Amino acid sequence: MSGLCRDRVVVVTGAGRGIGRAHALAFADEGARVVVNDIGVALDGSATGEGPAARVVAEIEELGGKAVTSTDDVTDFAGARNLIDTALRHFGRLDVLVNNAGFVRDRMLVNLNEDEWDAVIRVHLKGHFAPLRHAAGYWRAEAKAGRARAARVVNTSSGAGLLGSVGQANYSAAKAGITGLTVVAAAELGRYGVTVNAIAPSARTRMTEEVFAGDMAKPDSGFDAMAPENVSPLVVWLGSAESAGVTGRVFEVEGGKVSVAQAWRHGPAVDKGARWEPGELGPVVTGLLAEAGEPEPVYGQDAKR
* Catalytic position from the list 126, 138, 165, 171: 171
**pTM for the predicted model, two decimal places:** 0.91
> What's the pLDDT at 301?
85
* Catalytic position from the list 70, 157, 158, 232: 158
In order of start, what are the domains of the chain with their CATH numbers?
Answer: 9-260 (3.40.50.720)
State the amino acid at position 5 in one-letter form: C
One digit per residue, the tens of pLDDT, for the chain of length 305 reads 689 999 999 999 999 999 999 999 999 999 999 999 999 755 554 545 558 999 999 999 999 999 999 999 999 999 999 999 999 999 999 999 999 999 999 999 999 999 999 999 999 999 999 999 999 999 999 999 999 999 999 999 999 999 999 999 999 999 999 999 999 999 999 999 999 999 999 988 655 444 444 444 454 568 899 999 999 999 999 999 999 999 999 999 999 999 999 978 999 999 999 999 999 999 999 999 999 988 899 999 864 44
* Catalytic position from the list 175, 232, 243, 299: 175
- Whether 272 is catalytic: no
Cβ neighbourhood burial of 63 (10 Å; 0-12, 13-18, 19+) = exposed
- Whether 157 is catalytic: no
- Whether 171 is catalytic: yes
> What's the pLDDT at 50?
58
> What's the pLDDT at 198?
98
Query: How many CB atoms are located within 10 Å of the residue 173 CB?
Result: 18
